[in-house]
């Protein structure tokens, strides 16, 4: 595999390294940018496992790295973090006609679109599952051990990708995930456009449907704030949890008193998620 990476930034942080790269993505058929944090322990001789982080609506590769406060503990634990962008990008990429925040650019929903005009570029599922890990494992001092996590739309991404690829990830977690998008306003808008109006096609990208149909035998951790204003219309945490229970899948799902949907919520609990993933990444 010879993917040409162009370094966009490189910064020392917590004795490790934060860097951003752009490259031509075959899956997305456009230029993509990702961010990577390498802990100080990472070297060719001592490669480290990777946590893939999927961000929420409107985010790029930058939000999590800048705002989550995750890098200090990741440096200590010896875990690399890779944060892709949230959709294909570029002037020639189709976008929401109203440039709404919840669809199109910045809102790829980690799926493979089947409907025109989205199907030519909106393949974030293939990018995250296949293309990006191949690049990371070829170009950086990492092992093939990986876990996956995300926030909001990214929590939807982490759950659905792990549920569809149980062999690929040591563990999965989510913060305030869109856990049953087929029954939320954001999800219905995205799925109708990207996947068409036949709701049976939506099941492949709905964590509640997937866990019902497939179960899951790896560790799952999730957190949501009890003051999250998107819970009722968009997240449906309880529906997901009930589907998991019915399927006999045990989840550590924490309802955090008084926390809302934003990045201060993510920051408040990200270290729990890093410890959780470290336990499973280093057990393999």
Using the rule CB under 8 A, which residue among 5, 30, 67, 102 binds a second copy? Answer: 67
> Which residues neighbour 16 within 8 Å (Cβ) at sequence distance 6 or greater?
37, 38, 39, 40, 42, 71, 74, 75
Residue 40 touching a second copy (CB under 8 A): no
Question: Does residue 15 bind a second copy (CB under 8 A)?
Answer: yes
Catalytic annotation, residues: 152, 228, 261
Residue 99 DSSP SS3: coil
Min dist CB 152 to a second copy, Å, is 15
Phi then psi dihedrals of residue 267, to 5 deg: -60, -40
Q: Does 259 bind a second copy (CB under 8 A)?
A: yes
**Both structure tokens of 202:** 């939506």
Considering the rule CB under 8 A, would residue 66 count as an interface residue with a second copy? Answer: yes
Q: 144 or 229, CB closer to a second copy?
A: 229
Find the binder of a second copy among 264, 275, 283, 284 (CB under 8 A): 264
Q: What are phi and psi of 30, to 5 degrees?
A: -165, 175
* List 47, 69, 94, 141, residue binding a second copy (CB under 8 A): 69
Residue 182 in tokens: 């087929």
Q: Which residues contact 229 (CB under 8 A, 6 or more apart)?
A: 260, 261
- Report the DSSP beta bridge partners of residue 57: none
**SS3 (DSSP) at 201:** helix
H/E stretch holding 11: strand 6-13
Residues of this chain, 216-255, that bind a second copy according to CB under 8 A: 225, 227
Please tell me whether residue 23 binds a second copy under the rule CB under 8 A: no
Site membership for a second copy, residue 153 (CB under 8 A): no
> Among residues 103, 191, 205, 265, which is the contact residue for a second copy, using CB under 8 A?
265
Given the rule CB under 8 A, which of 10-18, 113-121, 193-201, 216-224 is the region that contacts a second copy?
A: 10-18
For residue 156, give the nearest of 131, 133, 134, 124 by alpha carbon.
124
Note whether 205 binds a second copy by CB under 8 A: no
Cα–Cα dist 23/29, whole Å: 10
Instruction: Give the binding site for a second copy (CB under 8 A).
Output: 11-15, 18, 66-67, 69, 71-72, 225, 227, 258-260, 262-265, 267-268, 271
């Amino acid at each position: 595999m010879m993917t040409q990476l162009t370094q966009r930034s490189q910064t020392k942080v917590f004795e490790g390294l934060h860097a951003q790269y752009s490259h031509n993505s075959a899956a997305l058929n456009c230029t993509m940018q990702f961010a990577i944090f390498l802990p100080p322990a990472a070297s060719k001789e001592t490669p480290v496992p990777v946590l893939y982080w999927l961000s929420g609506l409107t985010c790029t590769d930058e939000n999590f790295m800048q705002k989550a406060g995750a890098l200090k503990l990741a440096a200590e634990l010896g875990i690399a973090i890779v944060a892709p962008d949230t959709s294909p990008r570029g002037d020639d990429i189709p976008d929401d006609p109203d440039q709404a925040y919840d669809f199109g650019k910045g809102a790829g929903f980690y799926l493979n679109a089947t409907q025109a005009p989205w199907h030519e570029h909106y393949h974030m599922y293939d990018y995250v599952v296949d293309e990006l890990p191949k690049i990371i494992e070829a170009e950086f001092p990492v092992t093939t051990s990986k876990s996956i996590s995300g926030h909001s739309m990214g929590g939807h991404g982490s759950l659905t990708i792990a549920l569809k690829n149980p062999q690929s990830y040591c563990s999965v977690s989510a913060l305030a995930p869109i856990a049953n998008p087929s029954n939320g306003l954001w999800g219905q808008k995205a799925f109708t456009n990207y996947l068409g109006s036949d709701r049976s096609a939506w099941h492949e990208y709905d964590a509640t449907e997937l866990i019902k149909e497939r179960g899951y035998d790896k560790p799952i951790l999730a957190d949501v704030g009890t003051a999250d204003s998107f819970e009722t219309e968009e997240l449906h945490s309880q529906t997901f949890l009930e589907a998991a229970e019915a399927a006999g899948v045990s989840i550590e799902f924490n309802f955090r008193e008084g926390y809302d949907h934003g990045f201060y919520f993510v920051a408040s609990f990200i270290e729990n998620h890093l410890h959780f993933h470290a336990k499973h990444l280093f057990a393999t």
